[in-house]
Amino acid sequence: MAGNQSKHIWALVKKDFLLEVRQQYTFYGILLYVASTIFVLYMAMGEGPEEKVWNGLFWMIQLFICINAVAKSFLQESRGRMLYFYTIAGARDFVLAKLIFNLVLMMLMSLVSLLLFQLFLGNPVHNPLKFIGIVCLGGCSLSLVFTFLAAIAARAQQNAALMAIMGFPLIIPQILLLMRISNAAFADVIQAGLTSIVLMLIGLDIMVVALAVILFPFLWKD
């Protein structure tokens, strides 16, 4: 049964990737969104804001990118197609596949935006390897929460605005923890309690996945 389930999930993830490759406009659309947002930011800020400002701007931009990248993931599926997936794979497999796909997509976008930030807004990061790790972790955390909220918003037939008002208060713990650990990458000194914060973040992510798996079947039952 477990093997069967993972096969289903894999097939659904592959379907999403294939769709992304075939209809390239969505992928490039998000990429362009990332690039133009950061470019506008650069025009508004000028080069090289302070470390703290850089950090805050970086994570805020991640939030907006995440909303745009993830919002369409449930909206693009038509009602008939949902019913089809529901009968062949089950709701749990479906939501896990979406979570995995969005996680990979968001991680990629986070890395691209990090690169662009370095290019346009200077490089205050002292510890690049650590910061890349933090960015990946942050991309994961954001994408998990927003994927589930996208499912809710899609069910309510609403746009990204509803996702934002639902998501911003809920994302605060993750954002605060991320800001805290990314400060570690700006300083040469090793901060105490860093591992516990990282573990807390991973714990939150696991909880979000668990909630999504438990609650999603109720959301899509018709």
Closest distance of CB 155 from other proteins, Å: 5
Distance CA 91, CA 98 (A): 11
Closest distance of CB 107 from other proteins, Å: 21
Binding segment for other proteins (CB under 8 A), chosen from 6-14, 17-25, 30-38, 166-174, is 166-174
Complex with other proteins: residue 75 or 111, whichever CB lies closer: 75
Q: How many residues bind other proteins (CB under 8 A)?
A: 27
Chosen residue from 75, 160, 213, 219 binding other proteins by CB under 8 A: 219
Q: Can you point out the beta strands (E) in the chain? A: none
DSSP 101-140: HHHHHHHHHHHHHHHHHHHHH----S-HHHHHHHHHHHHH
Token pair, residue 5, equals 């389930």
Does 165 engage in binding with other proteins (CB under 8 A)?
Answer: yes
Distance CA 157, CA 163 (A): 11
Does 152 engage in binding with other proteins (CB under 8 A)?
Answer: yes
Q: How many other β-carbons are positioned within 10 Å of the β-carbon of residue 36?
A: 10
Does 180 engage in binding with other proteins (CB under 8 A)?
Answer: yes
Complex with other proteins: residue 157 or 195, whichever CB lies closer: 157
Token pair, residue 167, equals 């998501």
Distance CA 198, CA 137 (A): 9
Complex with other proteins: residue 90 or 173, whichever CB lies closer: 173
Q: Which of residues 197-216 bind other proteins (CB under 8 A)?
A: 200, 204, 207-208, 211, 215
Closest distance of CB 129 from other proteins, Å: 24
Yes or no: say if 121 and 42 are a contact pair by the CB < 8 Å rule.
yes
Binding segment for other proteins (CB under 8 A), chosen from 5-13, 20-28, 116-124, 163-171, is 163-171
Residues 118-140 as b or e (16 or more Cβ within 10 Å = b): eebbbebbebeeebeebbbbbbb
Does 172 engage in binding with other proteins (CB under 8 A)?
Answer: yes
- Note the residues at the interface with other proteins (CB under 8 A): 145, 148, 152, 155-158, 162, 165-166, 168-170, 172-173, 176-177, 180, 200, 204, 207-208, 211, 215, 218-219, 221
